[in-house]
Structure 1
């Protein structure tokens, strides 16, 4: 039997990013080689899935991927096919400056039986995410998400590479899935790992293994706790970070967020370790690390890992001449009228702010709601600023959870011209997604 650790409160989950204090920002690395054109097919269709052990499989929308191995510097001809009986809009998280794929601005929901095509330059390596959720509130069933992996030109040392996609569902007494974005009452909550109720991941003693943890939940901020292991955080939201050890083996991940880690397998053959999910309620046993009964891979564990190769984001952000603006999240005031449901969004409507290309932007994000809010910036990654605006956390994000009543300040370099979306929604199953835009000219 594995003893479960105590539950983490919702406030503790949301404090996770701010607790990280690590080394200085990463330098810019060398230029990317000439692009290689590849084809990528994404297909949305219905399929069956087992969401609960012993229960009947349910019908649910899924995303599938047909593509060769992708590497930073490739140019990808993307084709998205919608075989569902409802419109579907593809959103890609993690690629800065991908204007051809910007939802509601360049791409529109694809009708049943239809398709869409665009070219996508892979400027960055990392763990990306494709999902269909932006315009799917109150759909018959929760829409899916799918990882997209873009390899580094020089892959980091690792003895294995595992994607861990975590999704959540609400299942009614009739065995049917309940839609997100509306009140579904006290229906049970279910979590899956890579489409299954649970998972086991094989390790070999004294190995180092890369895990790409993805929070593909509809709204929930979650924490994952991995007991009795060194868990090196290497990248957040597709961008490298200066390596640091996760405190207590816990990873806090906002909805849509991605965390790449290296886990040192320092226990003996035959060992088992739980990966436990915390969502502010009772801890959920999610998966296990299982050591194979084979000799260790090497005489001793590896030393502290070197940083992953940088993706070319700026090493410094000049805050002195930054454009500074405030955004209210979840505010029941007139400013809330500036946020739109995705199906009501008009690209011709005025942006929340406009900035000249090359200038730094500082956003003060104030959550005036009575519950946590999730903020997602399209087009650019951002730094989370220190409380006094005298520095920043040495990692990049594209998604941030903000607790009720809090203000967080972020900064980014407006490098990519065009109109880009901003998303915000409460970390609650029934709350709607809202969008605004900003313009880089």
Structure 2
């Protein structure tokens, strides 16, 4: 599979409050998250790689709860928390709603978890010559209703560009004289044990900052249930493969049907080569049940609109590579929004990639539908990020439900490419 085939697979896979202070919500204690220095054993020679990471307990909650966070910055540079998958909370929107937290700073924030889904809490840092690669922190917001699975596991894929001395290149810098390495939950390889006829919910997260990846589960029945923190109309993954843009999340139900002793590979393909990331090992324990479960029903809705009336939509054309974009450190000097819209209106954006490599667009604050070519329908899922091939234009639509100022992002699928931002206003 070359890069073009990988991107074609992305299309096929698509088809086939923050308030200050306050006490802990609903009796739960506040969750402490610290930005600090750390290290991972990523180098084949056993050298440790310095990284910046978020030190936190397992972040699992339930829809309707309030997530209260005590965030401390132990680093020497300002940082902020970027919550991929949480809509409609303008006060946590970095740079347009909230400044980065200063070095040695502390803040207490509260976020209402209105939607169930898989969220990625990531660090946002201004470009700095002494910066280190950063790790994300998965967040699980469970449905209020029961979901018929035996186990629920998070699988965070991260990409590293390693130098011979054990250090790693930061995204947006020259990766020359580095080798590519991937980890699963911070390890070179992870093994999952499962019983025959067991159903697993695997929450895959692409923590790479620049690379579209395909993840394949060998000889397993894989059903896509949610994409980018929102339920989807269930559909089978083609050949058991899932294609994720940078920062994207896919929840899949996996039915383990192999005989005891089977070792089924978890493979990653980045458009250059396939790499083993782990195994699903079928244990010798008694089966979970006499026969596999029937096909799953859709996950409970998060309340996004069932239909979008495109007839009277506000429309805008956005070139992902135009001069209007700026690097994130200079956003304050770019006061003009990409567009403004009244709350409650439908927005249709035509996104054009004029670069010679695939470019990833991300919408903050809202989820969107990917429209069919003739604007006569949309794919049966919601997204917050979309990879667009060179020379291509895709149209997306969303209901501008949440007033505030929100970021949009554009970044090429090239390790050295800068991260560009603009903003839009919902009034």
**TM-score, normalised with respect to structure 1:** 0.91
Q: Are 1:337 and 2:323 an aligned pair?
A: yes
Aligned-partner Cα distance in 2 for 1:68–1:193: 17
Could you tell me whether the CA contact under 8 Å between 2:13 and 2:243 is conserved in 1? no
**Aligned partner (choices 310, 313, 328) of residue 319 of structure 1:** 310
Q: What aligned pairs does 1:8-87 form with structure 2 within 5 A after superposition? A: 8-20=1-13, 39-53=30-44, 55-66=46-57, 69-87=60-78
Alignment match, 2:21: none
Aligned-partner Cα distance in 1 for 2:50–2:64: 37
Could you tell me whether the CA contact under 8 Å between 2:68 and 2:108 is conserved in 1? yes
Judged with a 3 Å threshold, the aligned counterparts in structure 2 of structure 1 residues 193 and 349 are, in CA distance, closer, same or farther, namely same
Deviations 1:8-36 (A, max 9, x none): 2222222234325779xxxxxxxxxx977
Q: Are 1:129 and 2:120 an aligned pair?
A: yes
Deviations 1:73-112 (A, max 9, x none): 1122222211122221211010110112111112212122
Q: What aligned pairs does 1:95-174 form with structure 2 within 5 A after superposition? A: 95-133=86-124, 135-136=126-127, 139-174=130-165
Offset of residue 396 of structure 1: 0.2
Judged with a 3 Å threshold, the aligned counterparts in structure 2 of structure 1 residues 20 and 62 are, in CA distance, closer, same or farther, namely closer
Aligned-partner Cα distance in 2 for 1:300–1:439: 52
Q: Equivalent residue of 2:250, what SS?
A: strand
Deviations 1:286-333 (A, max 9, x none): 111111111111011001001111100000000000001110012xxx
Offset of residue 283 of structure 1: 0.9
Aligned-partner Cα distance in 1 for 2:238–2:129: 37
Alignment match, 2:359: 373
Could you tell me whether the CA contact under 8 Å between 1:138 and 1:182 is conserved in 2? no
Aligned-partner Cα distance in 2 for 1:41–1:97: 23
Q: Are 1:202 and 2:193 an aligned pair?
A: yes
- Structure 2 residues without counterparts, runs of 5 or longer: 17-24
Deviations 1:363-404 (A, max 9, x none): 000000001101110000000000111000010000111111
Offset of residue 39 of structure 1: 2.2
- Structure 1 residues without counterparts, runs of 5 or longer: 1-7, 24-33, 331-335
Judge which range, 146-155 or 361-370, deviates more.
146-155
Alignment match, 1:310: 301
Judge which range, 192-201 or 51-60, deviates more.
51-60
Aligned-partner Cα distance in 1 for 2:354–2:163: 32
Deviations 1:393-422 (A, max 9, x none): 010000111111111110000000011000
Could you tell me whether the CA contact under 8 Å between 1:168 and 1:217 is conserved in 2? yes
Could you tell me whether the CA contact under 8 Å between 1:167 and 1:215 is conserved in 2? yes
Judge which range, 109-118 or 206-215, deviates more.
109-118
Alignment match, 2:20: none
Judge which range, 103-112 or 302-311, deviates more.
103-112
Q: Are 1:415 and 2:401 an aligned pair?
A: yes
Judged with a 3 Å threshold, the aligned counterparts in structure 2 of structure 1 residues 294 and 173 are, in CA distance, closer, same or farther, namely same
Q: Equivalent residue of 2:417, what SS?
A: coil
Offset of residue 118 of structure 1: 2.3
Q: What aligned pairs does 1:180-329 form with structure 2 within 5 A after superposition? A: 180-329=171-320
Judged with a 3 Å threshold, the aligned counterparts in structure 2 of structure 1 residues 388 and 70 are, in CA distance, closer, same or farther, namely same
Aligned-partner Cα distance in 2 for 1:393–1:135: 35
Offset of residue 154 of structure 1: 1.2
Superposition CA RMSD, Å: 1.8
Q: Are 1:389 and 2:375 an aligned pair?
A: yes
Judge which range, 83-92 or 397-406, deviates more.
83-92
Could you tell me whether the CA contact under 8 Å between 1:75 and 1:122 is conserved in 2? yes
Deviations 1:326-363 (A, max 9, x none): 10012xxxxx2311111100287011001111111000
Q: Equivalent residue of 1:173, what SS?
A: coil
**TM-score, normalised with respect to structure 2:** 0.94
Judged with a 3 Å threshold, the aligned counterparts in structure 2 of structure 1 residues 138 and 326 are, in CA distance, closer, same or farther, namely farther
Offset of residue 166 of structure 1: 0.6
Could you tell me whether the CA contact under 8 Å between 2:48 and 2:166 is conserved in 1? no
Aligned-partner Cα distance in 2 for 1:272–1:137: 44
Alignment match, 1:398: 384
Judged with a 3 Å threshold, the aligned counterparts in structure 2 of structure 1 residues 134 and 257 are, in CA distance, closer, same or farther, namely farther
Offset of residue 138 of structure 1: 5.3
